[in-house]
Amino acid sequence: MIEPGLRERKKARTRELIAETARTLFAERGFEAVTVAEVARAADVSQQTVFNYFPTKEDLVFWRLEAFEAELLGAIRDRPAGEPVIAAFGRFVRRPRGLLAERDAAARARLAGITRTIAESPALLARERQTLARYTASLAALIAEEQGAGPGDIAPTVAANALMGVHHALVAQARAGLLAGTPHTALARRVVEQADGALALLERGLSGYAVRRADGG
């Protein structure tokens, strides 16, 4: 009974070691300049071990973002009856996370390094766009299922793109502020203010759409 837990903890430590090693190298030299083989050597593991945990090189940077999709969809799926989708999305997107939520200065510095790595890498920016598109499609599918939308109904896709557009714009805002050296507290406040303004803009057009029914649909 104990052994599987120990194995899982060991795997988690190995994954963390590889990812942190990669991110350090990427921050120092840039994503494109570092090979997976170099990451493996620095982490003292085989190259195959790296690929066992991270199927692509980009996964070394983005692997934690897999939880974001589940968190987003859960926030929408579990909203109270009678609540429009934009209200649940607003609570979700206003919640500080990542760099803006981190209070430890050393941890913020590591996250800032990751942010700069992404901003300077065409490959990582392309992967980020692909990931955002997947999140948007998942959100559209959830809304369509809830609302009983037919195959020809584009409203769920329109709503999902509008909502995720807010998220994407806020990420860009936070990234630009970070790269410009904006203090952490001021940047966090600015992002929340921008979120409020963007959501208020959408609410004027989406406030009556996708209201959750009492039966859960």
Residues 41 and 99 in one domain: no
C-alpha span between 108 and 91 (Å, rounded): 23
Q: How far apart, in Å, do the first and last CA atoms of the chain sit?
A: 40
pLDDT score, position 76: 95
Task: Give the three-state DSSP class for 84.
Answer: strand
What's the pLDDT at 63?
84
Q: What is the pLDDT of residues 126-147, one digit of tens each?
A: 999 999 999 999 999 999 999 9
**Cα separation, 180 vs 178, whole angstroms:** 5
Q: Is residue 216 part of a domain?
A: no
Last residue of a domain, one of 11, 30, 57: 57
Pair 141, 182 in one domain: yes
Q: What CATH number has the domain bearing residue 8?
A: 1.10.10.60
**Sign of torsion, CA 58 60 64 70?**
positive
| Domain end call among 20, 41, 57 | 57
Examine the domain organization and report whether 21 and 71 are in the same domain.
no
Mean pLDDT estimate for the chain: 88
Same domain, 14 and 92: no
Q: Does residue 156 sit in the same domain as residue 70?
A: yes
Domain count within the chain: 2
Tokens representing residue 44 in the block? 């003292």
Same domain, 27 and 74: no
Distance of CA 178 to the CA centre of its chain: 17
Do 151 and 108 sit in the same domain of this protein? Answer: yes
Look at residue 215 and tell me if it is in a domain.
Answer: no
Other beta carbons within 10 Å of 9: 10
* 132 and 91 fall within a common domain: yes
Range of the domain at 38: 2-57
> Residue 22: what pLDDT?
95
Decide if 29 is inside a domain: yes
Write down which residue in 37, 57, 77 finishes a domain.
57
Residue 51 maps to a domain:
yes
Shared domain for 112 and 138, answered yes or no, is: yes
Q: Is residue 212 part of a domain?
A: no
Q: How far apart are CA 169 and CA 45, in angstroms?
A: 38
Residue ranges for the chain with pLDDT beneath 70: 1-4, 98-104, 107, 216-217
What is the C-alpha separation between 54 and 48, in angstroms, rounded?
A: 10
Whole-angstrom distance, CA of residue 49 vs CA of residue 8: 15
The answer as to whether 214 is a domain residue is no
